[in-house]
């Protein structure tokens, strides 16, 4: 733990004040991990997305996922080398899975028995048994593994290696490496089309998204981005989402400060929506009417109306917001 006691006390005091107004764990609230503040900001959409609470988290919180009950948030804390477990109803971290070296992104299997986490330091993907909390497998990847995707049948785990420009496909049972697929420079995140045929992966320094055939493991196409007025090197895509009907994709373009809206079938950009500085983490609400976009260098979250495709509001949060979750 690296926090100063003054900061902790201050934040705790603020947290307490806020919690008396709105339950930190009420339904419909929005949670944002702040990588540099070591906190999770809680926003209330019913109150114009006002900041209603700030939860103290472990050091350098980045990726977050819900447990199946949506009472607990699992959060990857790189500086403390643990996965923190936050009880949103109590508004505090109640537990942690320790000894996970510098976790960045992670996913659960669909039975909520295993956790797959990329370890930047070890250049590996760890498989953690959620009950015993032990690392049950450890698979060598390229340097700086990052985005993780578990196929809906849990049969494959896909992981990017940012520094090796590879996507690794790992067998979900034997943990054998099925393929190492060369992709564009600095691959970051995945999205799968709902029919399971295509895996999209963002290549941050290539300024594009590569589309991989999920059966042949070949890169079959790629989509480049360039909002007006930006230079190609400013286009640094990170997060990518595909809607449930498989028709539309959203790609956060990093330092190009826009979110690209893509027609999935035509593989064409429909629109660029202005967001904040270095937009990266994307989350849709369940009804897919609102898209939340975390802006890493302007310390705020953009709220995008997906019907009009406009940025309707920006809400300040903590420092270096990374990931957004919605409790619904």
Partner 1 sequence: MRTLALVLALLLAVASGAAEAQRARAPRPTLVVGYLGLEDDPRWQRWETYANLELREAMDPVDGARVAMRDARIVGRVLKVKFVLEVRRAKDLDGLRAAFEELTEGGARFFLLDLPAETLSAFVAPYRDREVVFLNVSAMEDELRGEKCQANVLHVIPSFRMLADALSQYLAHKGWHRILLLQGPDPQDARIAEVFTISARRFGNEVVEVRRFLPTRDPRAREQNNVRLLTTGVEYDVVFVADHRGEFGRRVPYATVLPRPVVSLPDHGPTIGLVPSAWHWASERFGSPQLNQRFERQVEHRRRMRDADFAAWAAVRQLLEAMMKAKRTDFAAVREALLAPDARLDVYKGVPANFRPWDRQMRQPIVLGTHNAVITYAPLPQFLHQRNVLDTLGVDEPNTACRL
Binding site for partner 1 (CB under 8 A): 81, 98-101, 120-124, 135, 137-144, 161-166, 175-177, 180, 182, 185-186, 205-206, 231, 233
| Beta carbon nearer to partner 1, 31 or 116 | 116
At closest approach, how far in Å is the CB of 175 from partner 1?
7
Q: Which residues contact 140 (CB under 8 A, 6 or more apart)?
A: 123, 124, 177
In angstroms, give the least distance from the CB of 127 to partner 1: 10
Contact 281, 294 (CB under 8 A): yes
99 vs 112 by CB, closer to partner 1? 99
Smallest distance from partner 1 to CB 307, Å: 35
- Reduce the DSSP state of residue 222 to 3 states and report it: strand
Question: Based on CB atoms, which residue is closest to partner 1, 12 or 177?
Answer: 177
Would you say 101 or 154 has its CB closer to partner 1?
Answer: 101
How would you classify the pairing of strands 258-263 and 248-252?
antiparallel
Sequence-distant contacts of 203-210: CB under 8 A, at least 24 apart:
203/165, 203/237, 204/162, 204/236, 204/237, 204/238, 204/254, 205/236, 207/232, 207/233, 207/235, 207/236, 207/237, 208/184, 208/237, 209/237, 209/240, 209/249, 209/251, 209/262, 210/183, 210/184
Residues making up the chain, counted from first to last: 328
Residue (16 or 136) nearer to partner 1, CB: 136
Which is closer to partner 1, CB of 15 or CB of 237? 237
- 132 in the Ramachandran plot: left (φ > 0), alpha (ψ -120 to 50) or beta? alpha
Closest CB 165 distance from partner 1, rounded Å = 7
Minimum distance of partner 1 from residue 253's CB (angstroms): 15
Contact 326, 285 (CB under 8 A): yes
**Min dist. Cβ of residue 43 to partner 1 (A):** 26
Nearer to partner 1, 44 or 102 (CB): 102
Shortest reach from residue 255's CB to partner 1, in Å: 8
Name the residue among 146, 151, 150, 128 with its Cα closest to residue 138: 128
Closer CB to partner 1, residue 41 or residue 236? 236
Radius of gyration of the chain (CA): 19
CA 62 to centroid of chain Cα atoms: 8
Distance CA 49, CA 22 (A): 12
């Amino acid at each position: 733990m690296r926090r100063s006691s003054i900061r902790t006390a201050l934040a705790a005091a603020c947290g307490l004040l806020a919690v008396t107004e709105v339950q930190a764990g009420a339904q419909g609230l929005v949670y944002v991990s702040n990588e540099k503040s070591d906190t999770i900001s809680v926003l209330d959409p019913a109150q114009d997305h006002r900041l209603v609470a700030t939860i103290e988290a472990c050091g350098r919180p980045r990726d977050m996922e819900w447990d199946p009950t949506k009472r607990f948030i699992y959060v990857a804390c790189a500086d403390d080398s643990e996965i923190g477990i936050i009880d949103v109803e109590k508004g505090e971290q109640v537990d942690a899975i320790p000894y996970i070296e510098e976790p960045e992104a992670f996913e659960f299997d669909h039975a909520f028995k295993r956790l797959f986490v990329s370890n930047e330091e070890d250049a590996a993907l760890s498989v953690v048994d959620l009950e015993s909390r032990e690392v049950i497998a450890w698979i060598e990847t390229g340097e700086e593994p990052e985005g993780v995707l578990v196929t809906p049948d849990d049969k494959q785990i896909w992981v990017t290696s940012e520094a090796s420009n590879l996507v690794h496909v790992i067998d979900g049972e034997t943990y054998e490496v099925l393929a190492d697929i060369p992709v564009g420079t600095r691959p970051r995140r995945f999205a799968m089309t709902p029919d399971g045929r295509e895996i999209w992966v963002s290549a941050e320094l290539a300024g594009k998204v590569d589309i991989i055939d999920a059966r042949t493991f070949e890169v079959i196409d790629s989509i480049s981005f360039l909002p007006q007025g930006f230079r190609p090197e400013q286009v640094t895509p990170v997060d990518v989402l595909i809607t449930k009907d498989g028709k539309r994709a959203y790609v956060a373009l990093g330092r190009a400060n826009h979110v690209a809206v893509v027609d999935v079938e035509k593989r064409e950009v429909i629109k660029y929506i202005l967001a904040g500085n270095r937009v990266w983490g994307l989350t849709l609400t369940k009804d897919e009417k609102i898209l939340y976009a975390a802006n890493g260098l302007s310390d705020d979250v953009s709220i995008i109306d997906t019907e009009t495709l406009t940025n309707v509001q920006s809400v300040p949060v903590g420092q270096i917001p990374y990931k957004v979750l919605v409790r619904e």
